[in-house]
Structure 1
Amino acid sequence: MIDPYPVLEGLRSVGPVVRVRLYEQFDVWWVTTYTAAVAALGAPELASDQRYAHPDLARYVSPMRLGLIDKDPPDHTRLRAEALRASSGGVLPAFRRHTADRCAELVDALVPQHTTDLVTALVEPLVDETLGEFLGLPHQTDTVLRTHADHLLQPMTGAAARTEITEARRALRRRVRTGPPPEEPGCRPAAGLRGDAPSDEWADVLLQMYGAGRRSTTDFLATLLLGVLSREDWSARCRTPRGRRLVTDEYLRLDGPIVRGVWRFARTDTVLAGTPVSAGDIVIVSLALADRDPAVFPDPARLDPERTPNRHLQFGHGAHRCIGVPLVYALADALLSTLALRFPGARTSGDDPAHRSGRTSVFRGPARVPAALGPRHPS
């Protein structure tokens, strides 16, 4: 959907928890307000594990749901701690340095005075390479990995989609566990979070971080650039860390990549925001609606690059808050600061609906970001 917000806002007018038919096939509870979203994300009665779904609903749940965010304690606690340990010490500072250096190389390769698609020339290679190296996965020539990762993220609209997602997951798990063939040029030996011999469980965690993290981050960074570069004051604003962080958070809130929401499954009969929910029901927490709730964010449909506080939920909330948050901020900061320094006159035409088409994914973002770069600033 090019612009889902009018439909979503119509749901909120009905109530904080609304019954919705998804894909014209099955019914779910849709959480529409910020307060109800925070309650749902922290409710022990609502599980992340799809095994709690009613048997009549389980066949509609995507087989991609086997990573860290789809587990409950104690497995979630153990795996999250392992992921945080693996990314501790100097790992994140090294990621930031690598991101800044690679971003500078990609921006320096852009042709001045030309109109360039920043998705293919800048965002996609930057995310693929930095995230791939962070996780210890092949990233430079492994188109197989990227293709399967994209198949993994298609909406679960029927039996054919389930088959494609299942096959992609199996192929990805093999790829994560074994690494690239030795003759594959440009792919480094195992490193990063992958380690030398990942178990099937850890491979599932990594492939979800790569598949969902890569696609959602690419979509968000494309949205960020498409919007920011349409503003006259963008380069001045993006010259300071504070300015870059504020505008990044505001685009996460206003138009983040997670529109459909976070899935939960009722362990028992419970009540959510005054609405009875039966054991086995699916509850979808709409992060997009929560982040545009006028009870929390004044004038929520307006971009406010100075909005503070900005307690958006695009990274989730509580124990399942995304562990990739520092990576997203590092990538956004590198892109905005480097472009502001090298091409301060770069401009986009804003959010042209045509740029939203051409991709099938559970995430939302522009397929293209055409930017008139202008002259390169000497630096």
Structure 2
Amino acid sequence: MTDKLPFEFFLSPEFSTDPYAVYAELRAKGPVHAIDFPPGASSFVIIDHEHVRPALNDPRLSKSPANGPDWFREAIAKDNPVLADNMLMSDPPDHTRLRRLVSKAFTPRRIEELRPRVQQITDELIDAFEGDTIELIDAFAFPLPIIVICELLGIPDSDRADFRHWSGALVRPAFDEELARQRDEAGDALRAYFRELIAQRRATPTDDLVGALVTSTELSEQELLSTLALLLIAGHETTVNLIGNGMLALLRNPDQLELLRERPDLLPNAVEEFLRFDAPVERGTFRIALEDMEIAGTQIPKGSFVHVSIGAAGRDPQAFERADALDVTREDNRHVAFGHGIHFCLGAPLARMEAQIAFGSLLTRLPGLALGCEEKELSWRFSGSILRSLTALPVTIQGGPRA
């Protein structure tokens, strides 16, 4: 294990631009590193695939804030209560109960039934492209998943601009008073929105997911609010990143782009490769050691925060041949972009289906697709948080979308 990495490790522009180079240097020194994150706490980050995968499903690593130190529980309750009581932030048996209530909406069969509608939304978004330069995040990568998750939940997609603002504020680390104020306002606004929606559904029942959840007697009011917030945010943020990061990877590797254009049968493989190569979630949400334990020879004291780097695991050369190369033909792709074990992403079937349709349609309908700016002009948002997301992705096309 190396000396403790400073808090600024996750915050530097260099890390945001290319975390994989940083992780490669660290990996040469060991798979587990002490970090000062949160500042002053006992904290560690795991960066190799061999130990990341089991850590994601280790019952000794709790996801519940209740098992954290007093200051952490108080901070969660004060700073982000709208996201504090859902299946992502809980252990069994609460996790089991909360996940079961939502899982019926995300079965592979239910998701497959959505395919024609997702294709329709995709085509309508591409039809609306104008000119030879498109900002792909705003024009496509964001609206596609937010429309889909809004329709699944049963809430108006006309509110998606508000959702984007609230979501961005809630997942962005609040490192100063202004960011903390923005986060608090976003949490209050989202909570008020869902309270009004819940009241509407109770007065007039519907058969959408919100309508189903509000009738449950197994959810407290806070759990209901937190679950709806989680579904909304997780249901679109990660897919935005999957589309944006994956498209950038293709634009940086034109041979892979052309291969995928020529062989659309590779789309399922390609989506898995995008998930491995530049994962939408760079690090898993916090875990807390319930007991003194050892990971890869490193002693982890009880009460320590353990961060699991999904991005680093996806580039581990011990797990993936030519790990730093994009290969849309890659098979047996054991990435952990959706997690592993009981917290495996419930929305994985939906994200995969949306991504396959998105990339297939973009490559079919946009001839001459190319990056519309210098690579040095690209920037990444949410520096310091768990997500890995471009602020914008300008692309050029020739002659507008094909019919």
Change (3 A) 1:376 1:148: closer
User: Is it true that 1:145 corresponds to 2:163 in the alignment?
Assistant: yes
How far off is 1:233 after superposition? 5.3
Q: Find the aligned partners of 2:301 and 2:312 in 1 and give their Cα distance.
A: 23
Equivalent position amino acid for 1:4 in 2? P
Letter in 2 for 1:115: T
Q: Does residue 368 of the first structure (1) align with residue 387 of the second (2)?
A: no
Instruction: Tell me if the contact between 1:291 and 1:313 (Cα under 8 Å) persists in the aligned partners.
Output: yes
User: Where do residues 79-228 of structure 1 align in structure 2 (5 Å cutoff)?
Assistant: 79-88=98-107, 91-111=110-130, 114-157=132-175, 161-162=179-180, 164-179=182-197, 192-195=208-211, 198=214, 199-228=221-250
- Which of 268-277 and 69-78 deviates more? 268-277
Q: What amino acid does structure 1 have at the position aligned with 2:34? A: R
How far 1:202 sits from its partner (Å)?
2.5
The answer for unaligned runs of 5 or more in structure 2 is 1-15, 215-220
- Taking every aligned residue pair, what percent have the same amino acid on both sides? 27
**Cα RMSD (Å):** 2.9
Q: 1:186 is matched with which residue?
A: none
What is the CA–CA distance in structure 1 between the aligned matches of 2:354 and 2:381, rounded to whole Å?
24
- Of 257-266 and 102-111, the range deviating more from structure 2: 257-266
State yes or no: 1:266 paired with 2:289.
Answer: yes
Bigger shift: residues 345-354 or 34-43: 345-354
Structure 1 match to 2:29: 14
What is the CA distance between 1:207 and its match in structure 2? 0.8
Deviations 1:12-55 (A, max 9, x none): 22322210112655441111111111221121111110111123
Displacement of 1:162: 4.9
**Is 2:318 the partner of 1:295?**
yes
**Any idea what SS the aligned residue of 1:279 has?**
coil
Query: Match of 2:196, as an amino acid?
Result: T
Aligned to 2:9: none
Aligned residues: 373
CA distance in 2, matches of 1:197, 1:57: 29
Amino acid of the structure 1 residue aligned with 2:60:
E
- 1:351 and 1:251 map into 2 onto residues whose CA distance is 21
Relative to structure 1, the CA distance from residue 178 to residue 259 in structure 2 (aligned partners, 3 Å threshold; closer, same or farther) is same
1:354 paired residue among 374, 377, 391: 377
In terms of fraction of residues, the more helix-rich structure is 2
Aligned to 1:338: 361
Q: Are the counterparts in 2 of residues 136 and 192 from structure 1 also a CA contact under 8 Å?
A: yes
Task: Using the TM superposition, name which of 348-357 and 76-85 deviates more.
Answer: 348-357
**Partner Cα distance (2:242, 2:374) in 1:** 13
> Residue deviations 1:53-103, cap 9 Å, x none?
123555666633433211111111111111112334863133222111110
- Are the aligned partners of 1:219 and 1:364 in contact in 2 as well (CA < 8 Å)? yes
> Separation in 2 of the partners of 1:181 and 1:83?
19
Q: Is the CA contact (8 Å cut-off) linking 1:316 and 1:322 kept in structure 2? A: yes
- 1:323 equivalent among 346, 350, 353: 346
Match status 1:277 vs 2:300: yes
What is the distance in 2 between the residues matched to 1:65 and 1:239? Answer: 46
The runs of 5 or more residues in structure 1 that have no matched partner are: 183-188
SS at match of 1:284: strand
Residue number in structure 1 paired with 2:278: 255
CA distance in 2, matches of 1:56, 1:120: 38
Structure 1 length as normaliser, TM-score?
0.88
Call closer, same or farther: CA 1:31–1:129 in 2, change over 3 Å: same
TM-score normalised to structure 2 length: 0.83
